[in-house]
Structure 1
Amino acid sequence: MSPLARWIGGSAIGGACALALSISIQVVKQFEGTQLTAYPDPVGVPTICTGHTGAEVTLGQTLTPADCEALLAGDLGHAFAVVDAALTPAAQATLTPARRAALASFVFNVGEGAFRDSTLLTRLNAGEIRAACDELARWVYADGRRLPGLVRRREAERELCLAGLDG
């Protein structure tokens, strides 16, 4: 069973998981785009489909749309699993589908290690939701350069992360 199927079937409420998944797919697709032929990302990492990277990706490689959908499902399944594993039960209880989707999009983009070592995660686990969501705005650099696409992505993720918070 894929990580995504396990996450949808094994997390709190299937409907909330499906909603979070739907939101995250839209965010990731909007900011990553989909290219069937591998290309170097802004910092030179070989990338294919909808932001998929990995040792198996080689520049010039071509995949089908179905291959790309399968990679995205696996990548997002992993991102959701990372979010769920890193949060305390109390922090998990604060996750709306929109906040969960924002975090999965963030993990998809920056990777598991960066998320696990982040102040964002520390603040989430401390119950400081607004401060945690505000941390997203700091993650707009790639290879030392501020990228407009990352600024827009983090603004969208922050908006989703804050959705439903009072005041």
Structure 2
Amino acid sequence: MKRPGRIGAGAIGAILGGAMSLSIQVVSFFEGTSLEAYPDPVGIPTICTGHTGPTVKLHQTKTPEECEALLQGDLGRAFDAIDARVAPDINRTLPPTRRAALASFIFNVGEGAFEQSTLLARLNAGQTKAACDQLSRWVYADGRKLAGLIRRRAAERELCLIGVER
């Protein structure tokens, strides 16, 4: 017998799966996918769907299957960062849209930037709207304001604010 007010494991899996699926769509839309490594707008070697790191070398190639696995792994680490850094009482109530927005953001800026952000501090303080509004500030790369980041953050902010009284 299920106890009232408790979410079952199947429901949690569906919620997390929905957030993963949504984050894949957002990241894929804004990152695009390239099977050959290229320099991103600030010169960082990038391959597949926004994957970076010390093993990525310019002109390296990957298969579509390798790219899918990299994206799943990268976003999995972003969701792990949410689970590790967002206060448990807040994390339990994050809707899939907010989790997806945060995962897309972390995928793009990194866990360290997220951990030190005012966005996280406000989210953990229960200031959801103020936290989501912080996304609009993260539109610079290497000191330059980028149109692509402006559009991405606007989309992440809209996802983040779903269900929040404005």
TM over 0.5: yes
Question: Structure 1-normalised TM-score?
Answer: 0.92
The whole-number CA distance in structure 1 between the counterparts of 2:29 and 2:152 is: 9
Report the number of matched residues: 158
SS, match of residue 47 in structure 2: strand
Identity %: 67
Cα pair 1:11 1:17 within 8 Å, conserved: no
User: How far apart in 1 are the matches of 2:123 and 2:109?
Assistant: 17
**Alpha-carbon shift at residue 11 of structure 1 (Å):** 9.8
Q: Distance in 2 between matches of 1:133 and 1:83?
A: 14
- Looking at structure 1, the residues matched to 11 and 53 of structure 2 have their Cα atoms a distance apart, in angstroms, of 30
Contact 1:45 1:53 in 2 (8 A): yes
In the alignment, which residue of structure 2 is the partner of 1:74?
Answer: 73
Counterpart of 1:47 in structure 2 is 46
Partner of 1:164: 163
Query: Residue 165 of structure 1 aligns to a residue in which SS?
Result: coil
Q: Distance in 2 between matches of 1:90 and 1:139?
A: 26
Of structures 1 and 2, the one scoring higher in RCO (CA 8 A, sep 6+) is 1
Task: Give 1:156's aligned amino acid.
Answer: A
Aligned-residue offset at 1:148: 0.3
Structure 1 window deviating more from structure 2 (84-93 vs 38-47): it is: 84-93
Deviation for aligned residue 1:68 = 0.2
In structure 1, stretches of 5+ residues that fail to align are 1-9
Q: Residue type matched to 2:130 in 1? A: A
Runs of 4+ aligned residues of structure 1 deviating over 3 Å after TM superposition are none
What is aligned with 2:98?
Answer: 99
Deviation of the 1:12 alpha carbon: 7.3
Find the counterpart in structure 2 of residue 20 from structure 1: 19
| Residue equivalent to 2:55 | 56
* Cα deviation 1:104-162 (Å, max 9, x = unaligned): 00000000100000000000000000000000000000011100000000000000000
The structure number with the bigger radius of gyration is: 2
Change (3 A) 1:114 1:11: farther
Residue 56 of structure 1: CA displacement? 0.4
Unaligned runs of 5+ in 2: 1-8
Over the aligned positions, Cα root-mean-square deviation in angstroms equals 1.3
TM-superposition CA deviations, 1:14-48 (whole Å, max 9, x none)? 11011101110000000000000000011111000
